[in-house]
Structure 1
Amino acid sequence: MRRFDGKIAVIAGAGRGQGRSHAVRPASKGADVVALDIGHDIDSVAYDLATRADLDETARPVREQGRRVVTAEVDVRDADTLTSGVTDAAGQLGGVDIVLANAGIGIVKPGTDPARAFRDQLDVNLVGVWNTVHATAPLMIEQGRGGAAVPTSSAFGLAGRGGDPHGPQPGRRGAVRRGDEPAPDPQPTEGVAHLLDVALVEVSSGDVVRHRLSRAGDRQLNCCLHTMAISQVQRDCPGRDYYLRKRAAGKGRKEALRCLKRRLSVVVYRRLLCDATQQEGASPGGHQGATTESSAAGSTPTTGSSDKSLPGLANPDPTTPNQDRLD
């Protein structure tokens, strides 16, 4: 039995990109899908929004996996139309179990009246999230089998940045993060849905096929990983064995090297994560904390000699060998 067998997932903003992946993924786990998107452009937005053709393209891979799908052109700013569309779709599929409030807009069209752009951003990215959750929560409560609501925020909700074309994104994304915190006194007897939040970094909306990392930090890290991979290929070590297995599997030299670099990036990440975890338990100087154990061998027997704190600064005038001898 798959994880979402028998579940119905409602995804707002499912026409393409991130929203489409949110629709296809639950379907691969057994869920039926309600895919919603606006179907027309908003004047203040600098790019074309999803169309009926985009919704049909989202529905195709869902059906190919043997799952049912209902699509609807719905503007999340219109609470009444949204509620009507969700209720109708839920009636066709048999309820609502998962809600992904993913609809959102980003870059403001140059020359747009700031007040209008601000209002459009808030209406879609904040009020639209509220409308989506509140259009579906009563259905989940009524059916009595619980559910999960997941509003989509972004990294801008954690820390904004100035001088970019995203307009009021940091403020409204931060509002999504703070507004979706669960109530301190939940009502489990009503089957109230879990209320979560995801804050995503920048992703492609599907219009760009290929991306190039251009941040200096990414270039430096990629250079380090490349050097590590070349060094391992030239030595008799597990990295070389992995590289040779990829070559034997039919991959070219560059492709096998890329596989090795991806493998090394995981190793580096795990090492950094381990170091960060150890650092949390260390003193401000980076040394391990005190222990209540002691022995004749030392006051902190649980640490190696390289881990023990020094009593002070090193002596700039070391003693001579003769001074160290016993008479």
Structure 2
Amino acid sequence: MDTIILGIESSCDDTSAAIIRNGVMLSNVITNQDVHREYGGVVPELASRAHERNIIPVVHAALTRAGIEKEQLSAVAFTRGPGLMGSLLVGTSFTKGFAAGLNVPMVDVNHLHAHVLAHFIKEHEEDDNQPKFPFLCLLVSGGNSQIILVKAYNNMEVVGQTIDDAAGEAFDKCAKVMGLGYPGGPVVDKLAKEGNPNAFTLNKPHIPGFNYSFSGLKTSFLYLLRDELKKDPDFIEKNKADLCATLQATVVDILMNKLRKATKEYGVKEVAVAGGVSANSGLRQAFEDHAVKYGWKIYIPKFAFTTDNAAMVAMAGYFKYQDKQFCGMDATPYSRVEI
């Protein structure tokens, strides 16, 4: 009998629903919220209101595109956290009502866990390009920078993580002070392709173990702008590409340096990257280069699976469904949690 999972993702500002049947993705629908651009960041209240408007049409579209009737669903998987509490409440509440109406179980999913398991989404039956356990996963986004040792789908250990800011946050905040808008990461990536990564020097942190820190990098970048703007008020405009290239190269170098050390420490050659920053071209190229130089078997997600999406939630839910790890109607969302 087929196992058909509806996944629902509403942790931040993207409303998404997806259908997975026996591990194969049938649909993955995402609705973005452009309203946040003018504020330079996600406004939680606006995000939750938008989820309320979007969630029913998005779920309907996911079912329609998959050619699945709601009565065929085996379970409904939803992001329980971490994320914005108001946004998570919308997804959790909808899931409770929808699952109860269909009399199917609910599966709660850790958002970070789902990003890692995005690598197991199959787009067709013959798709067999999934990591082998154990593997290391570099999870990088606007809110997280972690190195995770993945021993099984339900056995993950964070061996390194940021002690302050995340890599994606560093991109966004540095982009903001340059007037590049929100989200800044994609703009930095685009401009970096035209610039010289060695044009300037930024401080790199010296953190023990496999942990990260990006607060000092941000400060170094701000001081660079402050000092140069005193000499030339048009410094940023004249050097945007070089600034972006230097910033990107420095962030990628910091990320890869710790990841190299972790692969050596744990003797792992299977290495994956996940999260929103995994869409960055500099980071993707660094993975390609390391595969050649160090013999890594790398797993880089398709761009559709780098940002928040329900396919990864459905995939995580599919694994948990196999073990009958369901949750009750008393489940409440959580804004913060570890892997």
Shorter-chain TM-score range: under 0.3
Larger radius of gyration: 1
Which structure ranks higher in relative contact order (CA pairs < 8 Å, sequence separation ≥ 6)?
Answer: 2
Name the structure with the higher strand share. 2
Per the normalisation by structure 1, the TM-score is 0.27
